[in-house]
Amino acid sequence: MSLPRPLARLAVVVTAAAVAVAASAGLASAHVSVSSPDATPGGYGKLTFRVPNESDTASTVKIRVQFPTDTPLASLRTQPLPGWTATTTRTKLDPPVTDDDGTAITEAISVVEFTAAAGGGIGPGEFQEFSLAGGPFPDAESLTFPVVQQYSDGSESAWIEPTVDGQAEPEHPAPVLSLAAAQAADTSAAPTGEAAAHSHGNEVSSAPAGVALFLSILALLGAIAGVVLGLRASRRTVSS
């Protein structure tokens, strides 16, 4: 049995709105991101890199994370992840960096690489999280971690472009970690840019995603109004 025309029209618009909302959510979750529940300047904390797979045909098989050497983390440990192997690269610091305790740091981990076991990886439509613990974090508002994502077909996505306040987000932004204490120092100021997107470990919608959602809601409300008016007109026709 076919639906009345007004109801059929509503069903079409609702489906389109759902697709638009789903697409807008995808825009917000496509980038590699980093978050921490407890990272503060001078303290130690956990870092979590969230890596979505963007390919429809290949799996993500390797993640290479670059750590800063101008403000190095003296201690850095990887959390075991079944199906993945973590390796680290240490770099000599010239000149050495002195930490808060006055100890000279002559070398630090500059790269952490996660490699999937043969036949494994992050499949299409999936994501994975890679966690580390370390510190002390520098006295800074944020830290940037360039990431290179490698796929099973040999292609790569380099998430290394800097995000600049007041400018549009680049196509492949490097993950940025906002340090909690730096944000708490000025609670009246809302975080902006990439820092806002990952300040509490949650990804937020970009401007295009918000616009798509707003337009979808307007379309849905318009369709409902059309159905109501259509049903009223049908009743008048029947009664006359």
Q: Which is it for the CA torsion 185, 76, 83, 31, positive or negative?
A: positive
In tens, the pLDDT along 159-201 reads 999 988 888 989 999 999 999 754 554 444 444 444 443 333 3
Which 3 state secondary structure label does DSSP give 188? coil
In tens, the pLDDT along 74-107 reads 999 999 999 999 999 999 998 888 776 777 889 9
Token pair, residue 97, equals 């960096």
What average pLDDT does the segment 103-120 reach?
A: 94
Count the Cβ atoms, other than its own, within 10 Å of residue 10.
19
- CA separation for the pair 48, 114 (Å, rounded): 13
- Residue 148's pLDDT is 98
What architecture (CATH level 2) is domain 32-202?
Sandwich (2.60)
> Looking at the predicted structure, is the pLDDT value of residue 211 above 60?
no
In tens, the pLDDT along 125-167 reads 999 999 999 999 999 999 999 999 999 999 999 999 998 888 8
Q: Where are the domains of the chain?
A: 5-20+210-239, 32-202
Q: Among residues 43, 59, 49, 20, which one has the least CA distance to residue 203? A: 49
Decide: 141 and 165 in contact? Cβ < 8 Å. Answer: no
Quote the pTM value: 0.66
Quote the Cα angle for 223-225-230, to 5°.
Answer: 95
Average pLDDT over the chain reads 77
Buried b or exposed e, range 181-194, using 16+ CB within 10 angstroms: ebbeeeeeeebebb
In tens, the pLDDT along 126-135 reads 999 999 999 9
Higher pLDDT, 64 or 227: 64
User: For a pLDDT cut of 90, what percent of the chain falls above it?
Assistant: 52
